[in-house]
């Protein structure tokens, strides 16, 4: 892991720990700490991993639908820790024969014959904090931030061959990258009853560094069901 990324991750984790200890006094003083809750939902995700291949004759499908599951543990009425899983997703790009250019910074690529490049992202894991200001009525708002841990494979398939960074590939994985990036999110919730809510939110990653030239850039809209224990 690059030193700059490692420093960023340590800084964010340290911030989360500081927030936790700052909220401990609030736990003892508050009389209405919400119970832990779990969330199940679907996200329409946009992944820009292949947008750098845009050009004449290139078709890019950069959307996929994923499921996610999170658990929130409250440390004060308005603040909770959030941990969860986002299921894996795929996006793809169809390239014509004889396409060429640079990708992932200064790495060259070229095609001989038509082919498809697919990125397969495994299950991603997130850990962060969620802030929910006090509101009246059935509508609520919240914001959240934390770290998303990801692992992605780049795979080429089809009758053609891909030359990437000086090596030639055909129907195989040519790049695997893993790392972590900060995420932020904003959302609205609607209370159905005391222990059940519907939620709609937006989440986005903020790539802070490139690994092997790969910068992760995800964003998506989610609809979810929230249940308090």
Q: Per-domain residue ranges for the chain?
A: 3-228
Q: pLDDT tens, 13-68?
A: 555 555 545 545 544 444 578 889 999 999 999 999 999 999 899 999 999 999 99
Residues 67, 86: Cα–Cα separation, whole Å: 6
Whole-number pLDDT of residue 229: 84
> Is residue 182 packed enough to be buried (19+ CB in 10 Å), middle (13-18) or exposed (0-12)?
middle
Residues 20, 36: Cα–Cα separation, whole Å: 16
CATH architecture of 3-228: Beta Barrel (2.40)
pLDDT category of residue 123 using cuts at 50, 70 and 90 = very high
Q: pLDDT tens, 98-110?
A: 999 999 988 999 9
CA 147 to chain centroid, in Å, comes to 9
Whole-number pLDDT of residue 118: 97
Distances (CA, A) of 209 to 69, 91, 104, 128: 27, 21, 12, 19
Residues 119, 64: Cα–Cα separation, whole Å: 11
Distances (CA, A) of 197 to 38, 126, 184, 226: 11, 21, 21, 5
Residues 141, 203: Cα–Cα separation, whole Å: 14
User: DSSP characters for 80-101?
Assistant: EEEEEEE--EEEEEEE-TT-EE
141 has a pLDDT exceeding 50: yes
pTM above 0.85, yes or no: no
Pinpoint the alpha helices (H) of the chain: 3-29
């Amino acid at each position: 892991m690059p030193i700059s990324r490692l420093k960023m991750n340590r800084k964010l984790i340290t911030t989360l720990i500081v927030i936790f200890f700052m909220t401990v006094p609030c736990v003892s003083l508050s009389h209405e700490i919400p119970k832990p809750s779990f969330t199940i939902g679907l996200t329409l995700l946009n992944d820009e991993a292949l947008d750098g291949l845009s050009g004449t004759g290139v078709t890019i499908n950069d959307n996929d639908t994923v499921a996610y599951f999170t658990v929130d543990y409250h440390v004060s009425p308005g603040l909770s820790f959030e941990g969860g899983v986002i299921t894996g997703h795929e996006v793809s790009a169809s390239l014509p024969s004889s396409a060429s250019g640079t990708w992932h910074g200064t790495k060259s690529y070229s095609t001989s014959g038509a082919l498809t490049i697919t990125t397969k992202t495994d299950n991603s894991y997130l850990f962060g904090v969620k802030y929910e200001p006090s509101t009246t009525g059935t509508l609520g708002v919240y914001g959240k931030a934390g770290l998303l841990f990801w692992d992605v494979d780049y795979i080429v398939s089809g009758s053609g061959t891909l030359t990437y960074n000086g090596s030639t590939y055909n129907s195989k994985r040519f790049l695997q990258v893993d790392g972590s990036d900060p995420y932020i999110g904003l959302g609205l919730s609607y209370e159905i009853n005391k222990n059940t809510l519907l939620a709609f939110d937006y989440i986005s990653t903020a790539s802070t560094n490139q690994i092997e030239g790969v910068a992760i850039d995800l964003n998506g809209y989610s609809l979810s069901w929230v249940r308090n224990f």
